[in-house]
Copies of this chain bind each other. A is one copy, B any other.
Amino acid sequence: MRRRNTPAKSTILTLLKDAGTALSQDMIEDKVKGEMDRVTIYRVLNSFCEDGITHRILADNGKYYFALCLNCGEEKHDHNHDHFHFRCTKCEKVECLDEEVTLTLPQGYVKQTISSWVTGYCNNCS
């Protein structure tokens, strides 16, 4: 299926680019309220994820955030680098921290994925 460019897609893509950080479903919904149907937002975001334009991350608050794939390879997203994610509880900003997650699993354990979240105040909000 060959994708088509539409106003809805451009709007959401621009939104993500301008934000510079990951945006949650609600945040996106709020910003494009009235411009398009709720269902369209779901479908656009899903298609972005399928096409490797964005990836979907589940934050520690149970919400999904969408972030542009910048350093993501074909198979794996950048998120396999096992770094911490930060979520500001004041401004709701979500970002990746440089700090790597280091972990030694007990004998006999095999690691697949790591999801590490820190909440708090970012440098702007503290």
Which residues of B lie under 8 Å from residue A114 when comparing CB positions?
116-119
B120–A108 CB distance below 8 A: no
Interface with B: A4-12, A19-27, A98-106, which one? A98-106
Instruction: Tell me if A123 is interfacial: C-beta within 8 Å of chain B.
Output: yes
Structural contact, A105 and B97, CB atoms closer than 8 A: yes
Do B109 and A99 touch (CB < 8 A)?
no
CB distance from A119 to the nearest CB of B (A): 5
Asked whether A2 is an interface residue with its Cβ less than 8 Å from the other chain, the reply is no
| Contact residues of A between 85 and 106, Cβ < 8 Å to B | 86, 89, 97-99, 101-106
Taking a contact as CB atoms under 8 Å apart, the answer to whether A115 and B113 are in contact is: no
Complex-state Cα separation, A109 to B103, whole angstroms: 23
Complex Cα–Cα for A116 and B108 (A): 20
The smallest beta-carbon distance between A75 and chain B, in angstroms, is 18
Min CB–CB distance A52 → chain B (angstroms): 21
Q: A115 contacts which of B60, B102, B111, B122 (Cβ < 8 Å)?
A: B60
Contact of A103 among B99, B122, B123 (CB under 8 A): B99
